[in-house]
Structure 1
């Protein structure tokens, strides 16, 4: 276990915990947009900046910095507050139409950016390059269908050559985890369309009710979970009904 101090409060966290986890264990809220507890830290948004005053003075991204024995953390140190506000100004400049970013900026006292508006062709930009979609696709799903491409102002997330990715299984994890709603996805008939990735995936039909509900490529999950392979093919409603029937059939019969 690691013992440290956050805003004057003693905190104990497991070995390997990050400063952000210690801060949250102390009941202190810090803004984050690129962090997810199930994925590797990336430190892209810089919204979780805090000041370390002991054993050495430093300004760090708390989501990616390991908690150390005897460390003293100040979340409201002037330099930490300034760093977070500066990061929010950059994000406001890149994604001025994002409600999530505007609300987060307002909570930190930032209402406008000094860095101007994006060019007209990017006026509706919602992607803040947090990398959550890239990491969930690679680390959690194992597909690695999308990645960062381009450099500088042209940096963005996309599929190889920005055409339909053969690696995409259409799970929708990227759209689900996106904090700003930048990834557009819809189910239309027997197809799932990921507009952002120029990708269309055929949906699997439930054998009991005929409803299209899951991408065909996710069939590979049956091999990963063979114990539920026979149930995986059913839509949630039919799966629930089948489970209920099985429970009823297992109920003891009272003697007449």
Structure 2
């Protein structure tokens, strides 16, 4: 068992853990946008920075990727931490001014005047990579990826065309921390990533409940008969 302190409080963790999940478990308030319990950390948003003191040396680190160690002293709100966090939030808010979660965080951490030109053509995407990882690591489909470089970089399907791989499960929508990804169910059809997917209609109650392609995929990987999956959960 590893022992160290966070804001003066002694905490315990197991070897191999990172600071962020330990701090969140202990009730400390560290903002994060690219950390997800089901996926772990990617270190992209950079707003989870903390100060770590080891011996006489202090440094600012991303808490989601910094492993715990005996005797380190972690500060979640040191002046340098707040300065870095505020600067990162200012950049993110300038990129995605329509993202409500960024607006709330900017206000919370005192970002009042954004010094950079606001970009209104990126939607709410902060390139956190969570949707891509959820699709690949949780669903096992890998229908999404990054396209372009620099200011034109974005998350999309291959060649920015309707995907033959996407099963319209919506995992990317659920995982997205800013609400960027559009998905709509209407009259038995789900629209997502520029493609329309027919929804399965329960033979018992006639309710539309899941994309047919998603049910076909689940049947393929689990060997559960498709006929069983076509019945909604309420009627099984």
Taking structure 2 as the reference length, the TM-score comes to 0.92
Cα distance in 2 between the residues matched to 1:136 and 1:167: 14
SS at 1:106's partner residue? helix
* Residue 235 (structure 2) aligns with: 238
Is the CA contact (8 Å cut-off) linking 1:9 and 1:26 kept in structure 2? no
TM-score of the superposed pair, with normalisation by structure 1? 0.85
Q: Give the number of equivalent residue pairs.
A: 234
Partner of 2:172: 174
Query: In the alignment, is residue 90 of structure 1 matched against residue 91 of structure 2?
Result: yes
Q: Does 1:117 align with 2:118?
A: yes
Higher relative contact order (CA 8 A, sep 6+): 2
Residue matched to 2:29? 29
Counterpart in 1 of 2:156? Answer: 158
Match of 1:44 in 2: 44
| Per-residue Cα deviation, 1:180-210 (whole angstroms, up to 9, x for no partner) | 111111112232101xx21222222212122
CA shift, 1:111, in A, is 2.1
Q: Tell me the equivalent position of 2:198.
A: 202
Which segment drifts farther, 7-16 or 22-31?
22-31
SS in 1 for 2:196: strand
- Which of the two has greater helix per residue? 1
User: Residues of 2 paired with 1:238 and 1:231: CA distance?
Assistant: 10
Question: How far is the alpha carbon of 1:100 from its aligned partner?
Answer: 1.1
Q: Structure 2 unaligned segments of length 5 or more: list them.
A: none
Contact 2:50 2:63 in 1 (8 A): yes
Displacement of 1:231 in angstroms is 4.4
- Which residue is equivalent to 1:58? 59
Tell me which residue corresponds to 2:219: 222
1:189 to 187, 197, 215: 187
CA distance, structure 1, for counterparts of residue 207 and residue 22 of structure 2: 46
Deviation at 1:145, TM superposition (A): 0.2
CA distance in 2, matches of 1:168, 1:78: 45
State the SS of the aligned residue for 1:128.
Answer: coil
- Aligned partners of 2:46 and 2:85 also within 8 Å: yes
Unaligned runs of 5+ in 1: 240-256
User: Conserved in 1, the CA contact under 8 Å of 2:53 and 2:59?
Assistant: yes
Shift of 1:10: 0.7
Q: Distance in 1 between matches of 2:140 and 2:227?
A: 23
